Amino acid sequence: MYIRQDILDAVAAKKMPEDRTFGKAVLPAICVAQYKNGQWSEVELGFDRDHRLSGGSTAVQYAQSIFEGMKAYFVHQVTPQIFRPYDHAVRFRRSAERMCMPPVPREMFVYGVNLLSRLYADVIPREADGALYLRPSLYGTDYSLSIEPSESYQFTIHAAPTIPFSKDMKSVLIERRNSRSAVGGTGGVKAAGNYAAGFQSLTRARQLGCATSLWLDPLESKYIEELSLMNFFVVREGELHTPTLQNSFLPGITRQSLLTLAEDLGLRIAERRIDINELIKEIETGSVTEAFSCGTAAVVSPIRSLKEASGTEYVFSDEPGPITRTLRKQLLDIQEGRTADRFGWMQSV
């Protein structure tokens, strides 16, 4: 494919950014396509600054906007490889449908993430835990104050080289006051609106020394759903447990991959409703010994404790547990190309 010279120049001039804190060093060239009159344009490379949108667009005014988060790895591989791009494409389509937006064809989505990963191959951190974080998004661009779905849309893919979050053990705030998603709301898809709605809880969590919040079900505020940006697992008497999927929280691709891996490793697994108050008792009696969060950004991240808003703390353990460590290692071994990809998850770009 032909790539504009100014984009090649910008990419060539691009040094590995200094600040590789998650998501901060967004690269200037993006993939972009436009939807107008019922049709998608080709995916092109462009500069973010040339594809800005109005504050009066349906994206900004009504949050008609969705995104995905995925990673291209280039550690032990000979070319960059993306983790489960087709599964992200499928979830992107489901998100688009929920928000009344035209789906982005799967091939177009995968073509875009491949193109950008190839373009930026030289700035993908090749150390362990490094990756190119890819952020496909789709949003309404109609400039109209009447509150209804847009007729025009923009599909963009932004990218940022990244090394993961710190590996310190985290505490998590039990969010007993607010729910993240209504029944029949948008919690089951990656809608923009789900995220800023959680900032208030994030602020409260940080004030209590917690990294994030644990959300409970919208009807009884009793059953665990997920963390603000990650899914949730615990280990009880050697068995791996995670909440059964509900349409009020996100079906994580990392979550699903870990269930597959765990089964393959011969671990006993259970998807079930997890009552927060029972879980607290089980932490106290010592039958639950490990907990971790999982998602594209942090992969697998051990949780030290749960905290109530009152400050009361329930500690799982002070060190990452054996099952947490095994699952993290096994998944990263596949993602970073140290072991065979026996599930067909990695796609070369």
Ligand X SMILES: Cc1ncc(COP(=O)(O)O)c(C=O)c1O
* Contacts to its own copies by CB under 8 A: 21-24, 26, 30, 48-49, 51-56, 58-65, 67, 69, 98-100, 133, 135, 137, 139-140, 143-149, 154, 156, 158, 160, 177-186, 191-197, 199-200, 202-203, 218-219, 221, 228-229
Phi, psi (degrees; rounded to nearest 5) at 200 = -65, -40
Size of the chain in residues:
349
Out of ligand X, its own copies, none, what residue 345 binds, judged by CB under 5 to 8 A for its kind, is none
- Specify the residue, 141 or 335, whose C-beta has the smaller distance to ligand X: 335
- Specify the residue, 140 or 295, whose C-beta has the smaller distance to ligand X: 295
CA 131 distance to own-chain centroid: 14
Task: Judge contact between 39 and 103, C-beta under 8 A.
Answer: no
Out of ligand X, its own copies, none, what residue 289 binds, judged by CB under 5 to 8 A for its kind, is none
For residue 229, give Cα distances in angstroms to 23, 68, 173, 348. Answer: 14, 12, 13, 26
Residue 195: CB minimum distance to ligand X, A? 7
Binding pattern for the stretch 40-79 against ligand X, x by CB under 6 A and - elsewhere: -----------------------------x----------
Strand-pair partners of 131: 162
Phi, psi (degrees; rounded to nearest 5) at 315 = -100, 125
Total Cβ atoms within 10 A of residue 177: 12
Site for ligand X in 197-256 (CB under 6 A): 226, 229-231, 250, 252-255
Out of ligand X, its own copies, none, what residue 252 binds, judged by CB under 5 to 8 A for its kind, is ligand X
Query: Counting contacts by CB under 6 A, is residue 85 touching ligand X?
Result: no
- Specify the residue, 236 or 255, whose C-beta has the smaller distance to ligand X: 255
Nearest to 246 by CA among 289, 186, 327, 286: 186
What span, in angstroms and rounded, lies between the C-alpha atoms of 216 and 227? 9
What span, in angstroms and rounded, lies between the C-alpha atoms of 139 and 43? 15
Binding site for ligand X (CB under 6 A): 69, 226, 229-231, 250, 252-255, 295-296
